[in-house]
Amino acid sequence: MFTKAKMAALAASISFLALSSAQAVEIEYWQYVFDSRVQAMDKLIANFQAANPDITVKHTTFPYADYQTRVVAAKVAGQGPDVVQLFYGWTDQFVNGGLIKPLDPAVFPHDEIESEFFPIVSAMKRGEDYYGLPTAVRSLALFYNKALLDEAGVQPPSTLDELLAVAEATTKRDGGGNITTAGITMDMAGQDHHWWRETLIRQFGGAPYDAEGNVAYDDAAGAAALKFYTDLQTEHKVGLIGFMDEGQAAFRAGMAAMTIDGTFRLGAFANNPFEWGVVELPANAEGLKSNYSSYFANAIGATAEGEELEAAQKFLAYISSPEAMEIWLATVGELPARRDVALTEANLADPIRGPFLKGLEYAQTTRFYDEAAQRQTSIDMVNRVLLEGQSIEDSIAQAAAAEQGIIDAGRQ
Amino acid sequence: MASANATSPAGPSRFWDRLNISTKRLIWAWAFLALPILFYAGIRFYPTFQAFWLSLTNWDLLRPAQFIGLANYQKMFADPIFWKVFQNTFLYLIIGTPISLLISFVIAYYLDRVKVMHGFIRALYFLPYLTTAAAMGWVWRWFYQPVPIGVINSFLSTLGIAQQPFLRSVDQALISILIPAIWAGLGFQIIIFMAGLRAIPSTFYEAARIDGLGEWAILRKITIPLLKPTTVFLVVFSSIGFLRIFDQVYNMTTNDPGGPLNATKPLVLMIYQTAFSSYQMGYAAAQTVVLFTILLIVSLLQLYVLREKK
């Protein structure tokens, strides 16, 4: 009698469990650990779950340093996330590795993506398919220390010539000629390699890559751009690679008048003990401007199927919505990826956001195959000129060959 | 086992009784040894052999590994960066080991005679050994900065000497990283040397002094020869340490790991970058095999030197 009743209860509870699991879907969202990003995503998940009570989103984070490895390891173990965040530069690796699946055009129509997002979203397109959508995007701008510029009696620069003049006016040196306050930070390991690649090369009349994506900077324009950069240290002596260890550290310490950095630095600079401002990256003499933009996109994991896929699509649509972008902008400070959310009167008039948003209009997005290795070629190129006295032309030729090798290897 | 014996005492216990005492001992010994052997086989040996196999594949984590023969080795031996890194690794070894042993021996030799605050001074020398290599790397990294924040360069400029690039120089960077690495290892080597010095019976010294030998002769004829086992141990220990140097290099050059221009990159850092930044696991495994071979040769040399002595 007793056991029969027990059995019945057990059977009932099993069927109940099965029933409830059929109704409530749990999906998993993965991103890397960064305080404000985690907070913003928690807010978005709470809103999403309130609107979709039948879906639960499990938020999992990993340290940035082993984020990619974790995603890959999870795939190998067959337990990938349903929605996953990835840097746009990793798309090839993620697609080739079968970690993410293309977005269903019925749910995410291509013409809507192309008309509503900034054109840099095309970096998520492979063949006919989009593989992810960003919530927020980043661009570069010139940060300046207002106190140091006022002291030298100069205004923030808007052209490259003005940049040199301002840097010269704000650089301070000791009796031995050593820089004690830099006019502009030089940090190829930071954002300067993007500045050189996507801005300076174009401003000197060249292009970093040709239409097929092969290296195209081994020419007079590339050399002129490299010379402009290395001359800051060798000719004008307004900056020094390694000064205060890192460019951003020098600027934060108030020992550099200008630095080129991205939106993601706004949080770190917020508590600087001096007044600072932001202007667009300087134009060349003809007024040509260029910028580099990057972003983390959200994609759907390859293992999501059936109702989990449906829930994942719903979630991805929500975190790419205008509402989510507003929340992300307020919490993280990154720029909305949709034009009409980003380019509002209020945002454009904002003295900090404005210059970054204007930069987005003409920004380029480099197609990276191995971002760290490609950056290393630029670091080495500058070091060969500065430390080994190699000629500009030889150094750029060597860098071009090395980077082309990485691109060729990445395409295999 | 116990319950099996209790229910059917006949079969197994009779078999056990029939064994003679030495066989029983052997079985017991192997039973105890089996645990660490199984552990080592699973945790050490299996991955080691796996690495040999991986070095013949193009595994990149994402796609299944394909056998590509010796292509990774061909690529490696044709790569000028590998040879630069190979040279760096041996520079760390060839400069680091003798200098650190010489300094630590001299310190141990004289510290052994110091009676005032002996423990305190010994603790001061040992302290860097206890410090995390990463923390130390960062402190030294800031020491080496240019003016106005670099301590060493600020001192040089007050003397009117031109500031030195240190970590930002292809010639000085490796030495600049070796100095804190040597300093960090000194404490341990001093302690071992002092233990070795203490182990030499004082009667030897008394006899030598009665025979009228000078301090220099005592050092050459008695102290150094009798310290040989200690020295061999420290040579091998510190050689392996310098061949595997990573923490100091990585932390002092994080913006451009192993830079500038690979001037400071040791083999271990190259393996790390190949595996966990470029995800070329097969190629990284090939580099690991090279490192393994180098370490194996060093260890075999140690065995050879020790055997010769006995």
Count of domains observed in chain B: 2
Residue B141 included in any domain: yes
The position carrying tokens 């010539």 is: A161
Nearest-neighbour CA in chain B from A175: distance (Å): 9
CATH architecture of A140-292+370-411: 3-Layer(aba) Sandwich (3.40)
Is B140 found in the same domain as B80? yes
In this complex, is the C-beta atom of A246 within 8 Å of any C-beta atom belonging to chain B? yes
pLDDT of residue A35: 86
* pLDDT > 50? residue B185: yes
CATH number at residue B299: 1.10.3720.10
User: What is the domain extent for residue B19?
Assistant: 2-54
Residue B61 included in any domain: no
Residue A75: closest CA among A296, A303, A299, A298: A303
The CA distances from residue A79 to A76, A87, A300, B235, in Å, are 8, 20, 13, 48
- Ranges A17-31, B184-198, B268-282: which has the least confidence: A17-31
In this complex, is the C-beta atom of B63 within 8 Å of any C-beta atom belonging to chain A? yes
Degrees, nearest 5: CA angle B243-B248-B254: 120
Q: Is B25 exposed, middle or buried (0-12, 13-18, 19+ CB in 10 A)?
A: exposed
State the Cα–Cα distance between residues A37 and A43, nearest whole angstrom: 10
State the Cα–Cα distance between residues A373 and A381, nearest whole angstrom: 12
Residue B6 included in any domain: yes
Q: Which helix (H) or strand (E) holds A363?
A: strand A363-364
pLDDT of residue A371: 84
Note whether B62 contacts A96, CB cutoff 8 Å. Answer: yes
pLDDT of residue B44: 87
Q: How many CB pairs under 8 A join A and B?
A: 80
Is B274 found in the same domain as B176? yes
pLDDT of residue B272: 93
Q: Which of A69, A178, A246 shows the shortest C-beta gap to B146?
A: A178
Is B131 found in the same domain as B17? no
pLDDT in tens, A369-398: 888 889 999 999 999 999 999 999 999 999
pLDDT of residue A198: 96
* pLDDT > 70? residue B11: no
Residue B254 included in any domain: yes
Residue B13 included in any domain: yes
What is the location of CATH 3.40.190.10 in chain A?
26-138+294-364, 140-292+370-411
The CATH classification number of A26-138+294-364 equals 3.40.190.10
Residue B170 included in any domain: yes
pLDDT of residue A370: 83
Is B287 found in the same domain as B187? yes
Q: Which of B142, B157, B277 shows the shortest C-beta gap to A372?
A: B277
Q: Which of A66, A73, A245 shows the shortest C-beta gap to B145?
A: A245
Name chain A contacts of B252, Cβ cutoff 8 Å.
none
Is B237 found in the same domain as B193? yes
Name chain B contacts of A73, Cβ cutoff 8 Å.
61
pTM of the full structure: 0.84
Beta bridge partners of A137: A295, A335
Helices marked H in B78-172:
80-111, 118-130, 133-143, 151-158
Residue A293: closest CA among A187, A369, A368: A368
Residue B91 included in any domain: yes
Is B147 found in the same domain as B8? no
Task: Tell me phi and psi for residue A291, to 5 degrees.
Answer: -150, 165
Is B217 found in the same domain as B305? yes
In this complex, is the C-beta atom of A370 within 8 Å of any C-beta atom belonging to chain B? yes
Q: Which of B148, B255, B260 shows the shortest C-beta gap to A180?
A: B148
Residue B63 included in any domain: no
Q: Is A99 exposed, middle or buried (0-12, 13-18, 19+ CB in 10 A)?
A: buried
State the Cα–Cα distance between residues A210 and A264, nearest whole angstrom: 29
Q: What mean pLDDT comes out for the span B300-308?
A: 74
- Cβ–Cβ under 8 Å, residues B116 and A216: no
Note whether A176 contacts B148, CB cutoff 8 Å. Answer: no
* B296 token code pair: 């194996």
* pLDDT > 50? residue B1: no
Nearest-neighbour CA in chain B from A226: distance (Å): 17
State the Cα–Cα distance between residues A262 and A141, nearest whole angstrom: 6
Give mean pLDDT in consecutive 10-residue pieces for chain A, a chain of 412 residues: 56 49 80 90 95 94 85 81 92 86 94 92 91 94 96 95 96 89 94 96 96 94 97 95 91 95 87 93 95 94 90 95 93 90 92 92 89 92 95 96 92 78
Is B106 found in the same domain as B39? no
Q: Which helix (H) or strand (E) holds B256?
A: none
Q: Which of A76, A96, A174 shows the shortest C-beta gap to B147?
A: A174
Longest dimension (CA), chain B: 94
* A60-74, B14-28, B276-290, range with greatest mean pLDDT: B276-290
Chain A residue with minimum CA distance to B140: A245
Is B97 found in the same domain as B193? yes
State the Cα–Cα distance between residues B273 and B284, nearest whole angstrom: 8
